[in-house]
Amino acid sequence: MLNLHQISKAFPGVRALRDVSFEVQAGEVHALCGENGAGKSTLLNILTGNLPPDTGRIEFRGKTVQFGGPAEATRLGIAIVYQQLSLVDSLSVAENIFANRQPRNRWGLIRQRALYDQTSSLLTELNIAQIQPDTWVGELSAGQKQMVEIAKALSQKPDLLLLDEPTASLTEREIRTLFELIRQLKTAGKAVVYISHRLSEIFSIADRVSVLKDGTYQGTLPVHETSADELVRRMVGRNVLLERTVSKARPEVVLAVEKLSGQRFSNVSFELHRGEILGLAGLVGAGRTELARAIFGIDGRTSGAVRLHGKPLKIRHPADAIRVGVGYLPEERKVLGLFPEQTVTQNVVVTQPSLTPAGWLDATASAARAESFRQRLDIRTPSVQTAVGTLSGGNQQKVLLARWLLTNPEVLIVDEPTHGIDVGAKADIYALLRQLAAEGKAILLISSELPELLLLADRILVMREGHLTGELPGESATEQQVMQLAMVD
């Protein structure tokens, strides 16, 4: 189906791809893995006509092709689901799926009834009929939006489907639906290129896996003949050990939440101790993020209290939380955390800018502080004056962590801290969270990845439908126990 011959691509100061060659067969799910910044997204942009390769040749269905742009790649039978959604919230599901391809009458006007019927048939065929064609996309959950994005790609009836981290926002049920769709494409002789940092998904759905490291091809392996350890070694050039460490939790209670209620959660109480990593588990929509936002002062609360060292906190705004020593790393770093067009320095010091005696911004001192964190956290960037939006996901997350470390918080809430991050950067962030706990910081860790919670958390609280349903010791908890508390009444 697809044959890549020595594809190379360079940007100013960066060699994104270097002589990459591999093939994707018809009727195959071909996984592509590598660290953030390994060149995966650049390769996908070349395959969809968004970028031309500097050198190399692409064969698609046996013919050499040169894409003049995304429309030509679509016409030839290539579709993509990007990690960052391309939907318009103010349009309906149907208008998004068939954007610029709506059925029209002889006067060029859109046939609305035909558009909705066509969309309804597609959604039923894809087993996501619970999403209505006339619903505004802005009213959908993150997982539903992702399924609409997938439906949009499949509506083009592609021969080659490219999926970039497609399950990042999906529930377990939606993941099962997606995997069934992928298996149907395989049976029909289509090809799928599947990018994921979740190695368990690669072993579940892929036939073969190709590995990139620093823009170079590291080989293609049949999934049934390799292991997670082998893939990690090829991706990062070293063995990454992810194992539990001794708890650093101390008896002192730093943060106490007492019968707190707010948007999508009710009557939540827990204590967070000095040096503790307290995990918060639950399905998408369980109320975990809403609880964190209320503690940090982004959203209001209807009742209950929050105490720091036994003293009631009146946090009505995030600035109040920062002032008393509470930090919050949000779930969506690109939308809610970072200023992508600003530099690394500006993103790091935004909450604690360096000022001259006269009160002006001290650019030199700010850059020096950012540089110290660049070195401490191994943020891979040409310089601290580089726009943060050009960095890989793992390095963007480190920049966001640097911002909060600069404020020296006593309590740090981290919401999905390794979302969309490769295994090497994930290990770095795990080590950093453990180091912060060892220094006496109190950490509330919200994560949808159960292996992550079982690896890091001293205790695990489980939420379901806005309520706490149980507590488990981190060192002995199992995924089955967590899921039972998250799903069963």
Q: CA 145, 300, 429 angle in degrees (round to 5)?
A: 60
Give domain 253-487's CATH architecture.
3-Layer(aba) Sandwich (3.40)
Largest distance between two CA atoms of the chain:
75
* 2-236 and 253-487 have identical folds: yes
d(CA 363, CA 367): 6
| pLDDT exceeds 80 at position 150 | yes
Percent of the chain past pLDDT 90, that is, above it, reads 54
- pLDDT per position as a tens digit, 354-396: 878 888 888 999 999 999 999 988 888 889 999 998 887 788 8
**What is the pLDDT, as a whole number, of residue 296?**
95
| pLDDT exceeds 80 at position 237 | no
The HSE-up count of residue 330 (CA atoms within 13 Å, CB side) is 14
* 186 φ/ψ angles, rounded to the nearest 5 degrees: -60, -50
- CB of 213 closer than 8 Å to CB of 38: yes
- CB of 206 closer than 8 Å to CB of 172: no
Kindly indicate the confidence band of residue 311, based on its pLDDT and cuts at 50, 70 and 90.
very high
Instruction: Report the length, in residues, of the chain.
Output: 489
| pLDDT exceeds 80 at position 471 | yes
**Average pLDDT of the chain?**
89
Pick the CATH number of 2-236 from 3.30.70.1520, 3.20.20.150, 2.40.10.480, 3.40.50.300: 3.40.50.300
Q: Which two tokens stand for residue 256?
A: 């106490």
**What is the pLDDT, as a whole number, of residue 413?**
96
Please name which of 402, 398, 395 lies closest in space to residue 327, comparing C-alpha atoms: 402
Kindly indicate the confidence band of residue 168, based on its pLDDT and cuts at 50, 70 and 90.
confident
d(CA 306, CA 329): 19
d(CA 34, CA 53): 20
Three-state DSSP at 14 gives strand
- CB of 466 closer than 8 Å to CB of 436: no
CB-based contacts of 188, cutoff 8 Å, min separation 6: none
**What is the pLDDT, as a whole number, of residue 468?**
95
Give bridge partners of residue 259 from the DSSP assignment.
Answer: none
Kindly indicate the confidence band of residue 488, based on its pLDDT and cuts at 50, 70 and 90.
low
Kindly indicate the confidence band of residue 102, based on its pLDDT and cuts at 50, 70 and 90.
confident
Please state the rounded mean pLDDT for residues 305-334.
91
- pLDDT per position as a tens digit, 416-469: 888 777 777 788 889 899 999 999 999 999 998 888 899 999 999 999 889 999
Kindly indicate the confidence band of residue 473, based on its pLDDT and cuts at 50, 70 and 90.
very high
d(CA 263, CA 265): 6
Q: Could you identify the residue written with the tokens 């040409």? A: 382
d(CA 67, CA 155): 21
Mark 280-295 as b/e (b = at least 16 C-beta within 10 Å). Answer: bbbbbbbbbbbbbbbb
Kindly indicate the confidence band of residue 125, based on its pLDDT and cuts at 50, 70 and 90.
confident
| pLDDT exceeds 80 at position 243 | no
**What is the pLDDT, as a whole number, of residue 13?**
66
Sign of the alpha-carbon torsion through 332, 336, 339, 340? positive
**What is the pLDDT, as a whole number, of residue 111?**
85
- CB of 240 closer than 8 Å to CB of 431: no
Please state the rounded mean pLDDT for residues 7-24.
88
> What letter would DSSP give residue 110?
B
Kindly indicate the confidence band of residue 489, based on its pLDDT and cuts at 50, 70 and 90.
low
Q: Could you identify the residue written with the tokens 């909705």? A: 116
**What is the pLDDT, as a whole number, of residue 357?**
84
**What is the pLDDT, as a whole number, of residue 368?**
93
- CB of 32 closer than 8 Å to CB of 195: yes
Q: Which two tokens stand for residue 266?
A: 């009710």
> What letter would DSSP give residue 279?
E
Q: What is the DSSP string of 352-375?
A: S--B-TTS-B-HHHHHHHHHHHHH
Domain ranges of the chain: 2-236, 253-487
Kindly indicate the confidence band of residue 62, based on its pLDDT and cuts at 50, 70 and 90.
very high
Q: What is the DSSP string of 6-58?
A: EEEEEETTEEEEEEEEEEE-TT-EEEEE--TTSSHHHHHHHHTTSS--SEEEE
Decide which of 236 and 275 is more confident. Answer: 275
Give bridge partners of residue 311 from the DSSP assignment.
Answer: 308
Decide which of 379 and 241 is more confident. Answer: 379
Q: Which two tokens stand for residue 361?
A: 């911004």
59-63, 66-70, 205-209, 391-395: the lowest-pLDDT one: 391-395
| pLDDT exceeds 80 at position 85 | no
**What is the pLDDT, as a whole number, of residue 16?**
87
d(CA 74, CA 189): 18
